[in-house]
């Protein structure tokens, strides 16, 4: 005779099913992050390294590191996108150190987004912007890359760089002003 309040046998099975599905949901979350950010991460890294093949390697390294460290992500410290760009930044800086150019970026810009059938005017503008970017300090170029190549918000840039949001906004404003002034001198 079974007591009226006997333990349900289905409870353990339901708990086991939820535990088994949890890693799968984490994998899907990382997959969504990868698909949403891969092109932006590559553009950001390419703007820092100015070397397409090296940017591909560093982008792959960044995503590999992020995948291995995904359990350490703390949503209370920021958005997943900013966390990922922090990892990508560190991977790019590791590559620059490996090359012996710790804080110095290459002088020759590589155009990764050139359209084949662009007009002469568009080409001249792009060359002017590339020349103006070369006049900026490496840290200022990085700010421009995070904002315009990676598409990060100021709060995300602050997280990546480890500064306050207002400090990131101020530095970004100064870098954009210098970029505009350099472009005005050329155009």
Buried b (16+ CB within 10 A) or exposed e, 109-141: beeeeeeeeeeeeeeeebebbeebbeebeeebb
- pTM value > 0.75: no
pLDDT of residue 131: 83
pLDDT of residue 107: 42
Q: Report the 10 Å Cβ neighbour count for 3.
A: 6
Confidence check: pLDDT of 137 > 50: yes
Distances (CA, A) of 123 to 36, 56, 129: 29, 25, 10
Q: Which domains does the chain have, with CATH numbers?
A: 20-186 (1.10.10.10)
Q: Kindly state the tokens that stand for 108.
A: 């020759």
pLDDT of residue 24: 53
Confidence of residue 134 (pLDDT cuts 50, 70, 90): confident
Confidence of residue 23 (pLDDT cuts 50, 70, 90): very low
């Amino acid at each position: 005779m079974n007591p009226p309040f006997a333990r349900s046998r289905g409870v353990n099975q339901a708990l086991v099913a939820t535990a088994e599905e949890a890693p799968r949901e984490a994998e899907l979350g990382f997959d969504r992050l990868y698909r949403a950010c891969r092109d932006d991460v590559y553009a950001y890294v390419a703007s820092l390294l100015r070397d397409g093949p090296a940017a591909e390697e560093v982008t792959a390294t960044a995503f590999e590191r992020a995948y291995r460290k995904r359990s350490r992500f703390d949503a209370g410290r920021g958005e997943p996108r900013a966390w990922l760009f922090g990892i990508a930044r560190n991977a790019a800086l590791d590559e620059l150190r490996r090359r012996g150019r710790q804080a110095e970026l290459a002088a020759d810009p590589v155009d990764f987004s050139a359209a084949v059938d662009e007009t002469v005017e568009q080409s001249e503008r792009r060359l002017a912007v590339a020349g103006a970017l070369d006049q900026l300090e490496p840290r200022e170029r990085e700010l421009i890359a995070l904002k315009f190549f990676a598409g990060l918000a100021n709060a995300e840039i602050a997280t990546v760089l480890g500064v306050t949001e207002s400090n990131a906004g101020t530095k970004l404003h100064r870098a954009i002003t210098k970029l505009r002034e350099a472009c005005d001198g050329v155009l």
